Structure 1
Amino acid sequence: MISLFLLGATEGGLFDFDATLPLMAVQVVLLTFILNSLFFRPVGRVVEEREGYVTTTRAEAKEKLLKVEKLEAELLEQLKGARQAAQKLINDAEQDSDRLYREALALATAEANASREEARREIDSQRESALNQLKVDSEKLGDLIVERLLGAK
């Protein structure tokens, strides 16, 4: 303690330099080493592992997101193509049905006209036949009336 008195330190003053200071320094260093080896390193490793896991998971998620976006674009393109093909198919079917309708209508109209013409010819023929028959019958009836009138006299 003599040397400490030479420095001007007094006992119980602001700085008390005795054996406690080196002991406390050794305790702090020892405690830091123990805490570092028992707590901070494992925690640091766990934090680094988690950070690595998060980094790799994020990278994988970005890759998967890019794949999903690419697949989405492909599917949208396929859907667009399918819609166009379906629309073309619908238009073709509408044109075919319209064409078939017009053909059927023209055929039905032609058949109706032919049937009507045939019926008109048949009616004209029957009318002519009826008129001829009526003429013959009226002549017979006229001759019969004349005969009876002449025969009754």
Structure 2
Amino acid sequence: MTSWLLLAEAGAPEGGLFDLDATLPLMAVQIVVLTFILNALFFRPVGRVVEEREDYISTSRAEAKLKLAQVERLETELKEQLKEARLHTQKLILDAEQESDRLYRDALATATAEANASREQARREIDSQRESAMTQLQGDADQLGDLIVERLLAATK
């Protein structure tokens, strides 16, 4: 075993830190070729995909910002419309309450006037019936008085 080690040591030329022989340029050429191959096969397609994704992301972000601005604008418009609708509804409710109150007062006044008219008519009818009853009673009383006087005179004769 030691003989092999001696042979391995004997075959290696004595040099400095770096040996400049044909392997250095061969390794440089291999690195350059490998770089071109890797660049053509892996790095360009991956770079293209990364650029496409970045473009898609930036486009999506821009569209999202536009849509967000549009949504905010629509939200403000809808809030304004809702506010106007609420004010309009409150006005309609107030008008309806006032109209209802006016109709109630008119109906109450009409009912009161009709009740007063009915009461006045009933009072007049009662007065007329009382007058008629009084006249009839007066006539009956006069007849009864005449009858009594006639019978008294007839009895005294």
What is the TM-score normalised by the length of structure 1? 0.84
Identity fraction in percent: 76
Q: Determine whether 1:45 maps to 2:59.
A: no
Distance 2:70 2:117 in 1: 69
List structure 1 segments (4+ residues) > 4 angstroms apart after TM superposition. 14-18
Map 1:1-153 → 2, pairs under 5 A? 5=14, 8-9=15-16, 17-152=20-155
Distance 2:57 2:133 in 1: 108
- Give structure 1 stretches of 5+ with no counterpart: none
Deviation string 1:89-146 (CA, Å, 9 cap, x unpaired) is 1111111111111011111101111111111121111111101111111221222233
- Give structure 2 stretches of 5+ with no counterpart: 1-12
Distance 2:148 2:33 in 1: 162
Give the root-mean-square deviation of aligned CA atoms. Answer: 1.9
Count of matched residue positions in the alignment of Structure 1 and Structure 2 = 144
> Which has the bigger relative contact order, CA under 8 A and spacing at least 6?
1
Output the amino acid matched with 1:50: R
Q: CA deviation at 1:51?
A: 0.2
Q: Alignment partner of 1:50: what SS?
A: helix
What is the TM-score normalised by the length of structure 2? 0.82
Distance 1:57 1:144 in 2: 124
Q: CA deviation at 1:33?
A: 1.1
